Chain A
Amino acid sequence: METEGKVIKCKAAVAWEPGKPLSIEDVEVAPPKAHEVRIKMVASGICHTDWTFLHEVGKTMNPQPFPVVLGHEGAGVVESVGPGVTKMAKGDKVIPLVVPQCGQCERCLSPKTNLCSKNWEKTQQCLLADGTSRITCKNQQVHQFIAISTFSEYTVVPEDNVTKIHPDAPLDRVCLLGCGVSTGYGAAVNTGKVESGSTCAVFGLGAVGLAAVMGCKAAGATRIIAVDINSDKFEIAKTFGATEFANPKDHSKPIQEVLRELTNGGVDYALECVGNVGVMRAAVEACSPAGGVCVMVGWTRMGELTLVSEDILLGKTLKGSYFGGWKSVEAVPKLVQEYLSGKILLDEFVTHRLTLDQINEAFDLMITGKSIRTVIQM
């Protein structure tokens, strides 16, 4: 292509400072360096973490670097690769990954975790491995959210943060496997290890929660209680496999008490998909004392979770996971295959389709609870 090896000028949604709407800007995207891949983004989902990063600085999120191009749930096509990249080539369909998989570090070699430690600190600073970014705007370096930045027509990502997927994959749907769906689904099947015949409760019915419901169903749970303060979400939760619904606002006593009564002592598995420490505590208290497992899925970096020690002493287990515990590079292509073969749902998550210049509208839809996932067609 005529763009290979050159700076690309294109559109991106830039967050100049916290708390302000994104600004559609002309940006410059530098060519990929060694072990990097430049991707033409085709579609991107919008995740609550993007909004949190922008609007919750100092509340549930640590102070973060600005300006930044957000977006971490995307799919696209390789435009060019830098030196040393052998696993993919231009024209390949790919999904950038929120957690890398170098395949060589201690954590990649351990079956117990997916938290590759390569470049961890740099990605958390929203920079690439060499400590810089590939996006500039008005002569200013713009940070790349978790080293990805899918809210740009083109982006550059470290090769360990990208995976090649099936050429027939519909990018406007499989982009959701970049974060939300994989996170919720994996939290149930990988982290919680939900067992056949069990009783589960999922707190929060956004994309992550609905994916967790889908994971509980795939694992063979017999009862899946969907919990949300917005009853409008119960219909779609049923689509994903929920068997029962509970709205905390419909009950005068705490929801965990309601669930304990419904299940004669507590659920076997609870998955918290809100990212609120009050809900996390309720989820723990909703678990059965006899080996109940509570998985923290919802993201909060600064919140403090307070629990009754006796709950833990009597036998509950608390765990959590990042990106559903999936080893990203090898797992996401398999999830794409599962979608193509009908084992997992993706279409049902997409409630709106907008364009990049409508991205602030997409945020509004998410915050007001009117959307599950909005896909931005780049």
Chain B
Amino acid sequence: MATAGKVIKCRAAVAWEPKAPLVMEEIEVAPPQEGEVRIKILYTSLCHTDLFHLLESTDNKGFPTILGHEAAGVVESVGPGVTEFKPGDKVIPNSGCQCRECKFCKSPRTNLCERSWVNDHIEYMSYPKTSFTCRGKPILQFTNTGTLAEYIVIRQIYVVKIDDDAPLDRVCLLGCGVTTGYGAAVNSAGVTPGSVCAVFGLGAVGLAAVMGCKNAGASRIFAVDINEKKFEKAKVFGATDFLNPKAYNKPISEVLIEMTNGGVDFSLECVGNTEVSRLALESCAKGWGLSVLVGYTNTDFSSKPIQLIYGKTWKGTLLGGFKIKDGVPKLVLDYMSGKIMLDEFITQRMKLEQVNDVVKLMKNGECIRCILDMSK
């Protein structure tokens, strides 16, 4: 290609500092080095983790940065040593990675990879090395991706090749939100047929969790959110019961325990709020209840150990427990064969220049997912 081996100048939405609007800038994207892939991003969407970093960061450690970690595109060029990808391949860049060689990748117990940026740089929410510069200044790549840029460079262990016929404007959602929520239910919780589940928080991740519970054969799925506008969509994805905690004068965990005669079998917290995490754990049945923390937060969680001693289990999930290079291509095929829904998550479509409007919509709970078209 005409751009191979050269620096590419292109557009990106840069977060110069916390709590400030994103700024459309011209950036420079370096050519891929050994083991790296440069991808032309065609579609991307924002996730609440992006918003969390932008709006809730208490310091400037992870700035300036280019947000975005849910996207799909095509390979523009590859660096030395890359044999798995070639220009033109359809791919989904990922914030998790799979090298296939480390002890974590070889273990069925985890989807962490020893080479992941998560292991050492989580306080920056970025790998320290970046291929982005703007006006001479390096710009971080949020969660090692930074897909609010027309071109990105990431290591091949973070890139997932997908089916040539996959519609990129929909499967980009498998870069994070849908994979996370769906996998939290089917992998991390291991929801069983006939079980009773509760999903806390009905954004894209929560709705994907509802879909996962349904696909796993749950007999009853409680959708819990303080915004009742979300109940209609939850029903589309398979929820059977709908609860607004604000409609009750006691904790929602007590309501669920009463409604289920002892508690749910599985609960999934998809908000990223530690008080909700606590309620989700406490909603579980004594003896066998399992609660999965899905929503991202870096604040501390508290609970009484007696909850665990009485037989409950508490665990979390990163990217739904999927080993990304194995799991994401299968999810793409599941979508193409109708096993999972993606279209139903998309509530808006906009251009990259409208990114601050998307931030606003998400803050106001008026958006499940907005697909940003990166083309000019």
Residues of A within 8 A of B (CB): 106-107, 110, 112-115, 277, 280, 289-291, 296-322, 325
Any chain A CB within 8 A of the CB of B247?
Answer: no
With a cutoff of 8 Å between Cβ atoms, the chain B residues found around residue A314 in the complex are 112, 118, 316, 318
Alpha-carbon separation in the docked complex, A27 to B313 (Å): 43
Q: Could you tell me the distance in whole angstroms from the C-beta of A55 to the nearest C-beta in chain B?
A: 19
Chain B 255-276 interface 0/1 with A at a Cβ cutoff of 8 Å (1 = within): 0000000100000000000100
B304 contact from A110, A115, A303, Cβ within 8 A:
A303
Alpha-carbon separation in the docked complex, A297 to B104 (Å): 27
Known contacts A112-B288, A315-B316, A318-B315; A304/B304 CB under 8 A: yes
A312 contact from B310, B311, B315, Cβ within 8 A:
B315
Interface residues on B, range: 35 or more
Q: Could you tell me the distance in whole angstroms from the C-beta of A306 to the nearest C-beta in chain B?
A: 5
Across the interface, do B107 and A320 meet the contact criterion of CB distance under 8 Å?
Answer: no
**Which residue of chain A has the shortest Cβ distance to B313 in the bound complex?**
A319
Q: Can you name 8 A-B residue pairings with CB atoms under 8 Å?
A: A115-B310, A115-B311, A290-B107, A312-B316, A315-B110, A315-B112, A317-B314, A317-B315
Alpha-carbon separation in the docked complex, A307 to B107 (Å): 25
**Which residue of chain A has the shortest Cβ distance to B188 in the bound complex?**
A315
Across the interface, do B318 and A280 meet the contact criterion of CB distance under 8 Å?
Answer: no
A290 contact from B110, B298, B302, B308, Cβ within 8 A:
B110
Known contacts A107-B287, A112-B287, A303-B305; A291/B311 CB under 8 A: no
**Which residue of chain A has the shortest Cβ distance to B122 in the bound complex?**
A310
Across the interface, do A313 and B318 meet the contact criterion of CB distance under 8 Å?
Answer: yes
Chain B 305-344 interface 0/1 with A at a Cβ cutoff of 8 Å (1 = within): 1111111111111100000000000000000000000000
Across the interface, do A309 and B312 meet the contact criterion of CB distance under 8 Å?
Answer: no
Q: Could you tell me the distance in whole angstroms from the C-beta of A120 to the nearest C-beta in chain B?
A: 9
**Which residue of chain B has the shortest Cβ distance to A284 in the bound complex?**
B314
Known contacts A309-B297, A322-B311; 17 further A-B pairs (Cβ under 8 A) = A110-B287, A110-B288, A112-B287, A289-B119, A290-B103, A299-B309, A301-B306, A305-B303, A306-B300, A308-B300, A309-B293, A309-B316, A311-B316, A313-B296, A318-B308, A318-B314, A319-B312
Alpha-carbon separation in the docked complex, A299 to B310 (Å): 10
Alpha-carbon separation in the docked complex, A215 to B316 (Å): 26
B288 contact from A113, A296, A299, A301, Cβ within 8 A:
A113
Alpha-carbon separation in the docked complex, A304 to B110 (Å): 28
Across the interface, do A312 and B293 meet the contact criterion of CB distance under 8 Å?
Answer: yes
A113 contact from B104, B112, B277, B287, Cβ within 8 A:
B287
- Determine which residue in A113, A300, A301, A303 has the highest number of CB atoms from chain B within 10 A of its CB, and name it: A113
Across the interface, do B298 and A309 meet the contact criterion of CB distance under 8 Å?
Answer: yes
